[in-house]
Each structure stands twice: as structure tokens, then as C-alpha cells.
Structure 1
Amino acid sequence: MKFIFWFSLFVVFYAYFGYVIFLMLIDAWQRLFKTDRNARTSDDTHGPRASHELPRVSFIVTAYNEEQRITRKMENSLSLDYPAEKLEIIVASDCSSDGTDGIVSSYADRGVKLVRAPKRKGKEHAQMHAVRAAVGDILVFSDVATVLQPDALQRIVSNFQDPAIGCVSSEDRFIDQDGRVSGEGLYVRYEMFLRALESRVNTLVGMSGSFFAARSEVCRDWAPDLQSDFNTLLNTVKHGMKGISDPDSIGYYENIADERKEFQRKVRTVLRGITVLLRNRQLMNPFRHGLFAWQLVSHKLCRWAVPLFLALALVSNAVLLDAGAIYVALLVLQLSLYIAALWFRFQNQSRNSSTKAKPPERATAAIYLRSVLDQIARIAYYFSSVNMAIAWAWFKYFKGERATLWEPSKR
């Protein structure tokens, strides 16, 4: 039982911190003894290039029943700073039943192409039709909810000057409706830091599905039933290339206001990721895929195993209460984590439903302590909710459910 307890804690620690520590050590080693790997600098890739040097780009926007937001996306896409003769904009409609397709068609005279799936079979199925129609050397994928700066397209495409790069992920910037970064913002920043490390050490393991780019040859074997961003990264590795995260290519998104919908989005995302991983489980063989196999197991499989080991740690800790004071203290710590998460959940609900004005706050020690406890509870809540979503995704996977159809998240 002691082995189960300590091994469970080790897996949880390794999934979130141990893997990062190892990557940092490898990164430091490579910086000391393989300095030539960093010869490609940000200035090299993002410097100005003549129009004739830029590759042809197909910018693919996937949409399903987006009549409320598609106009903003079209205007944002058309404002991107890229030579018109080198850019085609394609909207992949997943057999939309509202006015989305009509709005997109009204932009035909400005070069926007509509590719409509004959049947509604999911995001990747609609993307497959767009990929087949695309003529670009580089395919860039974006969601309707993603807002891009004018130079975003040139920035993400400029990375392909390096022939070793097969796909590029943007970095995410999440804000709430008041423009503030929430507790999940810390989690997102952690993910962006991890992506930067992976990019320097070897290759990414996952990409942002709302804004990413890939070479056309990587997208030839398009799977219409697999999560496109993760599967494109795996296809890149199969082609002998790598994926990177570009900190200068930013996608801006609003947090989903409805927590239940956000939880459902997380479940759907993890379920789709599990499906891709297990369909490509041969890539976890270290004898064939070396460093990438270790990355894939550490970043994906270990992370998605955390809910199981959290449960084992809690149960085994309760059994070991008579084994020493350390087990009592660790059980109290675990329970405090979950109580803090519940407290934040219900406190946040009461704050959202309350219409009373808050009294002015003075900078006192009590208020400072309360803010610190709020931050700890916020992190505990998001940590718990993420792992509950992962656990529910595994339950759905073993039930035989697969997430192919999609409903755009209303933000």
C-alpha cells in the first residue's frame, strides 16, 4: 500500500513537474554542447521577406452554424497582411443549416471560397474537403472564434523557412469578458512554457487547434475522424520533421462564460486526444521513436493518467493513517486541496449571482491573506476540474463513445 501511495504521488508530480524538469535539463545540456541548434533565431524567421519569396498559403476556417460570428471572422481574415496572389481563404462549412454559408458566399468577390461538406460528419471531415481543394504549399487552420493580428499569418508561415519544421502552433491568450486573466490563465501559461521547452529540445507534442499551420505534404493523409491538430503533429513526426510553438504567433480567445460548457469542451478535447493517441500508439515505442516516444508518454499518457493516480493516492493514504504522522499530514493536505476547490466553486457561483455592490476594500493584512487564499483555491479548482474532465473522457472512451460532431463553444 505504501508503494501504491508513493508511486501515485510520483506519477502526479512527474506529469506536471518532473517532465518539465527533465526537459529543462536536456535544454541546458543542448545549449552547452550543441549551440548550433539555435542558429535559427527569431529575427531570421520573422524578418521581412519579398513577396516572391513567400510560399502559397491556404487559410482554412472551419465553421458550423456561425452566422453570428462569421462576418467578424471574414473581416479579420481579409485584414491579414499577406500578398493576395499568394493567399486563398477557404471556409469549410460542416453542412451548416443557418445563414453561415450565405454570408460566406457574399465574400466570393473578395476571394473567399466556400467548401461545404455534403453531410455533417464533424470538424475534421469538413476540413478534409477544404484540404483537398487547397492549392497552398502551407495550410493554415483557424477557428471562427480566433482573432488574429494583421501580421499573424506572415509570422506563423515564416517558420517554414527551416526545412526541418513540418508544423507550427500558435500560442494562446485567454481573457475573460472583463479582459482579466483567470486562474486558468496560469494553467495556459504553464502549457505555453512547456511547448516552448519541447520546441527547443526536440518537437512539440500538441498544438493549439484554433490556429496552427502545416506543410501540405503533412496533411495529405488527412483523417476525417481524428483530432486535426494532434494528428497533424503526429503525421509531422512520421514524415521525419518536427513541430514547434511560435511565441510570436498569437491567437486571442475569450474564456467560455458557462462553466458547464467549458467542462464539456474539456471532456470532448481529451476524448478526441485519447482517440488519436491510442490510434497511433506505435509512436510510444522508444526503440523506434526515441526521444519523441518519451515525450509522448510523458506529456499525454502520464497527464491523462493523473486522475487514476489521484484516486489511488487518496484511497491508499486513508488506509495508511496508522503508519505515521506524515500520512495524516498528507491526507489533510489532499483533502484541503479538494475542499478549497469546492469552496472556490460555490463562492464563485454566489459572486456571479449576487447583485450587491462590494464595499470598498482597504489594503489590510486580512485582505491580502484572503487574496492569497483565493488564488490557491482558484488553482485547486482548475486543477480538479481539468482532472475530472479527463476522468470523464476516459469513461466515455471505454464506453465506446467518440467525439466527431461538434458544437462551436459560445464565448
Structure 2
Amino acid sequence: MELLLIICIALVVYTYLGYGVVVWALIRLRPKRPAVADVSDEYMPDVTLIVPAYNEASCLPAKVANSLAQTYPREHTRFLFVTEGSTDTSDQYLQTNYGDVVEVMGGTERRGKVAAMNRAMEQIKTPIVIFTDANTQLNLDAVRNIVRHFRDPRVGAVAGEKRIQTTDSESAAGSGEGLYWKYESQLKKWDAELHTIVGAAGELFAVRTELYEPVSPNTILDDFMISLLIAGRGYRVAYEPEAYALERPSFSIMDEQKRKIRIAAGGFQSIVWLKKLLNPFRYGVLTFEYVSHRVMRWAVTPLCLPLILLLNAGLVIRDGWNNGWGVLLAGQILFYGAAWVGYLLEKRQLRWKLLFVPFYFTFMNVCALAGLVRYLRGNQSGTWEKVRRADTVDALS
């Protein structure tokens, strides 16, 4: 029992702290990658910006303006808004107001984002495609900063950075989400420096058109699958933190819970569908990064945490409180108690930032377990109702 407890603790510590330390150390032992040059007249390929936009009429004015304001030359940029199945006049708005500068791919049937992306890719002629969500705002140099990576023929895809736009009075979920993505961004920088990042965020990522592989319409994490399939073919997925998408946090804790459970279910689906990447003899460093950064966080740590609590309680019952196991159990009780208080306060819209770290950590892992249950039941499809986001604050300039 003691050995199993120690192993579980070691796995959790490695997942959230140890892996970052190991990657940081490995980077220091290898030559630094050369700096990425800016785009120039010698390298300025044509690009298509694809924006899936199902019933996003409220976001479209800002999104179109933000897309047209990109500093990458307009003559080398094509804009394609995919509004398939929308019932909120998105098609009419785009065609009436921007029909001369953007293309619209509509349709009367809603088949899901992935099916819409697959359909859009059938007509793409540009060598590079950039996907971005309708409810995000990009920094104005985003396209320029992404495209420059493709000068390297070994780069098959490029992931931008997702940033959560929060205010001082933001909810615990929003604050926790922002902290989580800051940590994720640092890990992605190290992953890319070592070899490749393992999974792009759908808010902003780009691929070489010739490398795009259509994925099943039932795919939950399309961005993750598409980028990992490219990495599995031997190409690098680069990371560009100076190409970022700003997104507001979820409107409420219930909206964030819905989103997290769906992501977790998609994580388990991806692990099964990408099981070939678990072979270190074939994929080497990619397998190391993939297992350490993704598989352990989705499929190992969430199962270890309740085991740690139960095993620790069993040891205290057997040996009493007056030892190291008692201190550990008391610390767990305090941590989860703080998380529970943070959850109760959040439901009553009473926010205390001091509690958002234990709250959000626990919240993520509980959602991961719920996602496992949903995946095993098979009741999650690629078509789903989007979660609400908090009201937009100051626009990106």
C-alpha cells in the first residue's frame, strides 16, 4: 500500500512539475534552434484564413474587422468563413457587407465543425491554411508570425498561443483558466524547442495544405488530432507565442464544466485513435512528449488523485496520525477543503482568488474523470452546443 501510494504521488508530481523540469534540462543539453526569420519578399506564400462560424452572428463584425486588419499582405491572403447550417443570418450578413473581400461557405445542414473543415479543405488552393475560431481576436501580426515558420520544410504545422482575457474581478474559473494556459504556454515553448508541440489549440493553428488529413466527423478534438497526425508523419509542429488568440473565460462554472468534460472525453478518444504514437521505438521523442504532456494528464493523474487520498487514509487508519502519512492526509484534506469552499463561493458569485488554484486543479481532474465516463458511454459527438463566454472586455488593438 505504501509503495503504491508513493508511485501515485510520483506520477502526479511528474505530470505537473517533473516533466517541465526534465524538458527544461534536456533543452539546455542540446544546441539552441536558430531564430525564425520574418517573412520577406523572397518568402511570402499565399494563405487562407478559415473561420468556422456556426451561429456566430454576434461575433462576426469584430472577427471580420480583425481578420482584414492583419498585417500580412492582403493580396496574399484569402478569407473563408464556413457558416454551414447557421440559422442566425450569418450568411446574409457576410455576403451583404463583405461579399467582395471574404468568401462564405454556407449550407442548410449542420454536420459539425469537423465536417465543415473537411469540406472547406477540398477547395483550398493556397499552400498554407490557418484555422481560427469566430469568437476570438488575433493580434494583428498573428498571420505574419505564423507563416514565417513554414520557411523550414521540416515544419508541417504551427500552433499559436491561446490567451484568456480576464479582469480583476473575474470568477475563479476564469482566473484558474488563465493561470492554466500561462503554464501550458510555457510547456509548449519547451516542447517546441526540444522537438515538437503535442497538440494545437483550435483557436489558432496552421497547417501545410498538402499535409492535412481529413478526420472523422465524430472527432471531438479536431485541432489536437490534425496536428498530431502531422507530427506522426515526422514533421514538427512549431509554436509561435507571438501569434495569439484572445478569448474570454467561460460565462459560469457550469459552462466551464461542460467544456472541460467535453475536452476530457475528446482526450480519451484521441488516445485510443492515436495509440500508434505510444510506440517509443518508432516515434522516439514524440512519444516521450505525447505521453508525458498529454496521456498522463488526461488518463493517469485524474485516476491517481483519488487513489492517493484513499491509500493515504488507509495508512492513517492502520498506523495513526502521528507520522508523515498523517501530515500528508491533513494536507490533502486542507487542499480539497479549500477547493470545495472555492466551488461553493463561485456558485454564489462570491470570489476569492486565493482559492482558485486548489479549486481549478481539483475541478480539472474531476472533469477529466467525468469525461472518461462520457467517453466510455459513447454519448459525445462532434456536433455540440458551444458554451457561453463572459462578456467581451476591451477589444484588441
**TM-score normalised over the length of structure 1:** 0.88
The letter of the residue matching 1:23 is V
Q: How far did 1:274 drift?
A: 2.0
Moved more, 330-339 or 74-83: 74-83
- The aligned counterpart of 2:235 is 241
- The aligned counterpart of 2:103 is 113
Quote the Cα distance in structure 1 between the aligned partners of 2:181 and 2:98: 37
- The aligned counterpart of 1:260 is 254
Q: Are positions 1:4 and 2:10 aligned together?
A: no
Deviations 1:263-291 (A, max 9, x none): 11111122123212211101111111111
Contact 2:336-2:362 at 8 Å conserved across structures? yes
Quote the Cα distance in structure 1 between the aligned partners of 2:348 and 2:273: 43
Q: Are positions 1:133 and 2:133 aligned together?
A: no
Q: Are positions 1:38 and 2:33 aligned together?
A: yes
The letter of the residue matching 2:368 is I
Q: 5 Å matches for 1:11-410?
A: 11-30=11-30, 35=31, 37-39=32-34, 41-42=35-36, 44=37, 47-50=38-41, 53-117=43-107, 119-176=109-166, 182-226=175-219, 227-304=221-298, 305-321=300-316, 322-323=318-319, 325-352=323-350, 375-410=353-388
Aligned residues: 381
Contact 2:253-2:347 at 8 Å conserved across structures? no
Q: How far did 1:351 drift?
A: 4.7
Quote the Cα distance in structure 2 between the aligned partners of 1:20 and 1:114: 42
The letter of the residue matching 1:198 is D
Q: How far did 1:384 drift?
A: 0.6
Quote the Cα distance in structure 1 between the aligned partners of 2:388 and 2:79: 23
SS in 1 for 2:264: helix
Quote the Cα distance in structure 2 between the aligned partners of 1:352 and 1:315: 31
The letter of the residue matching 1:24 is W
Moved more, 390-399 or 254-263: 254-263
Q: How far did 1:237 drift?
A: 1.5
Contact 2:213-2:229 at 8 Å conserved across structures? no
The letter of the residue matching 2:19 is Y
SS in 1 for 2:304: helix
RMSD of aligned Cα (Å)? 1.9
The letter of the residue matching 2:304 is F
Contact 1:166-1:215 at 8 Å conserved across structures? yes
**TM-score normalised over the length of structure 2:** 0.91
Structure 2: unaligned runs, 5 residues or longer = 390-397
SS in 2 for 1:110: coil
Q: How far did 1:98 drift?
A: 1.8
Structure 1: unaligned runs, 5 residues or longer = 354-373
Contact 2:213-2:226 at 8 Å conserved across structures? no
SS in 2 for 1:245: strand
Q: CA 1:117–1:290 in structure 2 vs 1: closer, same or farther (change >3 Å)?
A: farther
The letter of the residue matching 1:228 is D
Q: CA 1:200–1:6 in structure 2 vs 1: closer, same or farther (change >3 Å)?
A: same
Deviations 1:102-123 (A, max 9, x none): 1122245332111125532211
The letter of the residue matching 2:337 is I
